[in-house]
């Protein structure tokens, strides 16, 4: 889109090409009007001198024709900061865009000496740029490459720009494109991605990703610790590298089922061997990993070491930053189009971006390299600039190059007006941002992946500062505490814990701060917003910044309120029944299926004359004779087979001291939670004294009290037995 009177700065060259003579070398014509008085006296004002130098004339000031002002007017219209300086680096002229970007006025320009000092806010720029500038000023080089620099504005603030310089025989042209918003956006994206990446990298639970064949493509530090290998040893390896044959088959079956059904395996125990040979058990959850098109691309999982039943915790070590990238300095394209959208002028960079030659692009519009939908968006953007007169500083255009590849260009657009101010076309700067957009998408996906893991965890995740105030937490932690996220941010643990717990937490955080040793499992009691008491099991470790300084704490919290309540109920129930059993006068006993005592109370110990410790494990053979052993076996066996309890049974026992005792016992089965018989329990009552009394009464009833001989009652009983026996046997 050539405009004949406009200069074209080619890459790597400071030569200014124009269909006519360069305005810097145009011979000055005498003006018909009188010169200013100061000029007639041989004196020039500072501004007049600068204008004279900027126009390439060191003659005595003359008023020039209006035509000579056109290059400067064109510079004011270009949407990039541009200025001219003399060969010593003194600024002679700066366009309006330069003044707007850096806050200088036209009056300030002559006061700025050594213009390159504006761009010296950091040593990195000085080391990289100073040699090039010195060569440029000395005439060794004609141009500098594009480079991202930081500029000190008039008000002292810093703006970021993309700078290039070119030199003619006695002038230097510098161009600046404002990239402050892009730099800030890149910084925010990197910080966000780094935050979530650090969370995953420091988790105590192992996090891993594999391809569809089961080979590791990503493992975090915790996964390496769980398996005992380095990252370099695991990447590219599959489960056969660390799992036995059985576990390897199970994992393969999981992968196949997940790939077929799309359903995740939420929890499964697998056996592994660490690098040092130790056997470990991991609780693993595995889900399908899909690409941007929704197609299966691999698997993602979380692994927890449950060998010693230790809870998950977040590890806090800062690893070196990965996936850090910066946008390489690129050259920008310049174009002009008419009101119908057809190119009238463009430089070589535009051709490089689109892969078309200049001849192919001149006279064509954006429909040649955009889809109909994208072309419509571009048309609307240009139309808005035309109707409002307001420049569009950053229009993203999706393009299709001549070779079929796609790309993204960031375009700034402004109107071209004729001398009467009537719009006659558009001009703009085009920058290829394809690489940057791809990087942003990669960072976005990476951030989304790590954010998704944190936000979808069932356990609470939290970060607090050194004063114990929440700085970040996930939804699960909000549910644990019963508050909304906005209520918890900035809240200290002192606001939801009583005085005793406050002191415990203060000591806990202080110990972690001093030793930097994580606390892996700590039971915490607190009060929810609704006033109910709840319990969390937390793991806590230090949180550090990029310099390695401790700035707070992070941790994992698991709600164990229900478990605590159940434990307390069981404790109370056990205590109640234990009290009853220990205080009753009758003996209580429990045995296994072989008849060995597993539990007895004190009364049972008294019944048998042994201590409780002596009775545990003792069998019936050790406290009764053979006849009673068989009777007891039949009794217990019948209860086992029928499941019908025996309410009363007399048994003769031999106490530890050899004395004979009689017990009246009841027996019932003990079953497990599946209803399977696992033993017997019963109540025993010592009836020795009662038996003796019964025998004494029977003796007195059948014997003479004086002689001790059997009396008539016994004679009648014996005679009755003999008659009955004779009848039965016909004798």
For the chain, percent of residues with pLDDT exceeding 70: 79
Q: pLDDT at position 183, please?
A: 82
Q: Looking at residues 27-38, what average pLDDT do you find? A: 39
Residue 325 or residue 681, greater confidence = 681
Q: pLDDT at position 426, please?
A: 92
- Distance between CA atoms of residues 37 and 107, nearest Å: 22
Mean pLDDT check: name the lowest of 54-68, 112-126, 353-367, 563-577. 54-68
Mean pLDDT check: name the lowest of 158-162, 340-344, 481-485. 158-162
Q: pLDDT at position 159, please?
A: 83
- Distance between CA atoms of residues 311 and 205, nearest Å: 9
Q: Looking at residues 290-297, what average pLDDT do you find? A: 84
pLDDT band for 415, please (50, 70, 90 cuts): very high
Mean pLDDT check: name the lowest of 74-83, 311-320, 549-558. 311-320
Q: pLDDT at position 114, please?
A: 52
- What are the phi and psi torsion angles at 280 (to 5°)? -135, 160
Q: Are 53 and 86 in contact (CB under 8 A)?
A: yes
- What are the phi and psi torsion angles at 215 (to 5°)? -80, 135
Nearest to 347 by CA among 11, 19, 83, 12: 11
**Which segment, 36-40, 619-623, 634-638, 711-715, is predicted with the most confidence on average?**
634-638
Q: In what side-by-side order are the strands of the sheet with 81-86?
A: 91-94, 81-86, 171-178, 158-167, 143-152
pLDDT above 60 (res 408)? yes
DSSP 135-180: HHHHTS-SEEEEEEEEEE-TTS-EEEEEEEEEE-SSEEEEEEEE-H
- What are the phi and psi torsion angles at 678 (to 5°)? -125, 0
Q: Are 192 and 447 in contact (CB under 8 A)?
A: yes
Q: How crowded is residue 240: how many other Cβ atoms within 10 Å of its Cβ?
A: 13
- Distance between CA atoms of residues 115 and 176, nearest Å: 13
Q: pLDDT at position 70, please?
A: 55
Q: Can you say how many angstroms the Cα of residue 348 is from the centroid of all Cα atoms in its chain?
A: 44
pLDDT above 70 (res 284)? yes
- Sign of torsion over alpha carbons 128, 134, 137, 143: negative
CB proximity list for 634: less than 8 A, separation 6 or greater: none
Residue 315 or residue 661, greater confidence = 661
Mean pLDDT check: name the lowest of 62-66, 217-221, 450-454. 62-66
Average pLDDT over the chain reads: 76
Q: Are 409 and 431 in contact (CB under 8 A)?
A: yes
User: Which one-letter DSSP state was computed for residue 112?
Assistant: -
Q: Are 242 and 206 in contact (CB under 8 A)?
A: no
Instruction: Express each pLDDT in 632-683 by its tens digit.
Output: 899 999 999 998 998 888 888 888 888 888 888 889 998 888 888 989 988 8
The tokens of 213 are what? 């064949």
Q: How crowded is residue 292: how many other Cβ atoms within 10 Å of its Cβ?
A: 8
pLDDT band for 119, please (50, 70, 90 cuts): low
Q: What CATH number does the domain located at 333-432 have?
A: 3.30.450.20
Q: Can you say how many angstroms the Cα of residue 251 is from the centroid of all Cα atoms in its chain?
A: 25
Q: pLDDT at position 43, please?
A: 35
Ranges assigned E (strand) in 381-475? 392-400, 406-417, 423-432, 460-465, 470-473
- Distance between CA atoms of residues 566 and 706, nearest Å: 69
- Distance between CA atoms of residues 200 and 209, nearest Å: 12
For tokens 């404002």, the residue is 178
CB proximity list for 685: less than 8 A, separation 6 or greater: 586, 587, 663, 664, 665
Q: Which fold has domain 457-564?
A: Beta-Lactamase (3.30.450)
Q: pLDDT at position 330, please?
A: 42
Instruction: Express each pLDDT in 503-531 by its tens digit.
Output: 888 888 899 999 989 988 888 888 888 88
Enter the pTM of the model: 0.29
pLDDT band for 54, please (50, 70, 90 cuts): very low
Q: Looking at residues 37-62, what average pLDDT do you find? A: 38
Per DSSP, what are the bridge partners of residue 8?
17
Q: Are 354 and 402 in contact (CB under 8 A)?
A: yes
Using DSSP bridges, classify how beta strands 279-290 and 171-178 pair: parallel, antiparallel or unpaired.
unpaired
- Distance between CA atoms of residues 460 and 526, nearest Å: 15
Nearest to 70 by CA among 5, 124, 148, 144: 5
Question: Alpha-carbon dihedral of residues 577, 579, 585, 589, nearest 10 degrees?
Answer: 50
Q: Are 300 and 209 in contact (CB under 8 A)?
A: yes
For tokens 């003996």, the residue is 587
Nearest to 77 by CA among 59, 101, 96, 90: 96
CATH class of 8-178: alpha beta
Q: What CATH number does the domain located at 205-305 have?
A: 3.30.450.20
Q: pLDDT at position 335, please?
A: 86
- Distance between CA atoms of residues 207 and 201, nearest Å: 8
Per DSSP, what are the bridge partners of residue 400?
406
Q: In what side-by-side order are the strands of the sheet with 279-290?
A: 216-219, 206-210, 296-305, 279-290, 265-273
Instruction: Express each pLDDT in 230-277 by its tens digit.
Output: 888 888 887 777 777 777 788 888 788 888 888 887 777 777 777 887
The domain ranges of the chain are 8-178, 205-305, 333-432, 457-564, 584-686, 693-729
CATH 3.30.450.20 fits domain 584-686: yes
- Distance between CA atoms of residues 413 and 215, nearest Å: 49
Q: pLDDT at position 353, please?
A: 84
- Distance between CA atoms of residues 256 and 214, nearest Å: 10
Mean pLDDT check: name the lowest of 37-46, 92-101, 372-381, 703-712. 37-46
Q: Are 223 and 208 in contact (CB under 8 A)?
A: yes
**Which segment, 55-59, 123-127, 247-251, 316-320, is predicted with the most confidence on average?**
247-251
Q: pLDDT at position 69, please?
A: 54
Q: pLDDT at position 30, please?
A: 39
Q: Looking at residues 300-322, what average pLDDT do you find? A: 55
Q: pLDDT at position 73, please?
A: 66
pLDDT band for 425, please (50, 70, 90 cuts): very high
Q: pLDDT at position 85, please?
A: 78
């Amino acid at each position: 889109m050539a405009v004949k009177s406009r200069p074209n700065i080619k890459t790597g060259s400071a030569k200014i090409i124009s269909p006519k003579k360069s305005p810097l070398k145009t011979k000055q014509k005498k003006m018909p009007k009188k010169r200013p008085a100061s000029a007639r006296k041989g004196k020039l004002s500072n501004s007049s001198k600068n204008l004279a130098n900027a126009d390439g004339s060191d003659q005595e000031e003359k008023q020039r024709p209006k035509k000579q002002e056109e290059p400067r007017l064109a510079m004011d219209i270009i949407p990039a900061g541009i200025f001219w300086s003399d060969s010593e680096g003194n600024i002679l002229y700066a366009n309006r865009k330069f003044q707007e970007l850096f806050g200088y006025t036209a009056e300030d320009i002559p006061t700025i000496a050594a213009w390159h000092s504006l761009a010296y806010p950091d040593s990195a720029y000085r080391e990289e740029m100073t040699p090039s500038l010195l060569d440029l000023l000395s005439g060794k080089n004609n141009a500098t490459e594009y480079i991202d620099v930081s500029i000190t504005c008039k008000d002292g603030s810093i703006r970021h720009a993309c700078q290039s310089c070119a030199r003619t025989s006695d002038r230097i042209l510098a161009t600046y494109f404002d990239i402050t918003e892009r730099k800030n956006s890149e910084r925010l994206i990197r910080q966000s991605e780094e935050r979530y990446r650090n969370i995953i990298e420091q988790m105590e639970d192992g996090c891993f990703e594999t391809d569809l064949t089961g080979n590791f493509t990503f493992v975090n530090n915790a996964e390496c610790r769980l398996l005992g290998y380095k990252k370099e040893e695991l990447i590219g390896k599959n489960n056969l590298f660390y799992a036995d044959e059985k576990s390897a088959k199970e994992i393969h079956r999981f992968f196949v089922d997940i790939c077929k059904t799309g359903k995740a395996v939420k929890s499964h125990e697998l056996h592994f061997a660490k690098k040092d040979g130790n056997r470990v058990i991991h609780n693993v959850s595995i889900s399908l990993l899909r690409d941007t098109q929704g197609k299966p691309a691999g698997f993602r999982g979380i692994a927890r070491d449950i060998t010693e039943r230790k809870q998950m915790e977040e590890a806090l070590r800062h690893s070196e930053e990965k996936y850090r990238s910066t946008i390489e300095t690129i050259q920008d394209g310049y174009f002009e189009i008419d009101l119908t959208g057809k190119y009238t002028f463009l430089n070589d960079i535009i051709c490089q971006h689109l892969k078309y030659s200049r001849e192919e692009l001149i006279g064509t519009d954006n429909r040649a390299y955009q889809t109909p939908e994208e072309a419509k968006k571009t048309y609307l953007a240009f139309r808005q600039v035309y109707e409002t007169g307001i420049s569009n500083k950053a229009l993203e255009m999706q393009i299709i190059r001549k070779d079929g590849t796609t790309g993204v260009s960031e375009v700034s657009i402004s109107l071209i007006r004729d001398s009467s101010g009537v719009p006659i076309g558009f001009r703009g700067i085009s920058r290829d941002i394809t690489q940057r957009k791809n990087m942003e998408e990669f960072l976005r996906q990476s951030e989304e992946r790590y954010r998704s893991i944190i936000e979808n965890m069932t356990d609470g995740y939290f970060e607090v500062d050194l004063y114990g105030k929440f700085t970040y937490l996930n939804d699960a932690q909000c549910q644990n505490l019963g508050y909304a996220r906005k209520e918890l941010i900035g809240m200290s643990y002192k606001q939801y814990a009583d005085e005793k717990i406050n002191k415990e937490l203060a000591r806990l955080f202080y110990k972690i701060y001093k030793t930097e040793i994580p606390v892996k499992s700590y039971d915490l009691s607190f009060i929810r917003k609704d006033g109910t008491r709840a319990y969390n099991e937390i793991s806590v470790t230090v949180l550090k910044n990029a310099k390695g300084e401790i700035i707070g704490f992070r941790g994992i919290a698991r709600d164990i309120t229900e478990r605590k309540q159940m434990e307390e109920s069981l404790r109370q129930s056990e205590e109640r029944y234990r009290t009853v059993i220990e205080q009753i006068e009758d003996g209580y006993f429990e045995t296994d299926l072989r008849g060995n005592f597993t539990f007895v109370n004190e009364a049972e110990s008294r019944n048998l004359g042994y201590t409780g410790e002596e009775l545990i494990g003792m069998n019936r053979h050790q406290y009764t004779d053979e006849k009673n052993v068989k009777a007891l076996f039949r009794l217990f066996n019948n209860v086992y087979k029928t499941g019908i309890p025996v309410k009363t049974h007399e048994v003769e026992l031999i106490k530890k001291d050899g004395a004979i005792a009689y017990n009246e016992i009841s027996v019932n089965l003990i079953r497990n939670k599946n209803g399977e018989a696992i033993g017997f329990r019963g109540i025993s009552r010592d009836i020795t004294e009662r038996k003796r009394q019964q025998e004494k009464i029977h003796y007195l009833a059948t014997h003479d009290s004086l002689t001790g001989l059997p009396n008539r009652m016994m004679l009648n009983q014996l005679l009755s037995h003999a008659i009955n026996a004779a009848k039965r046997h016909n004798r």
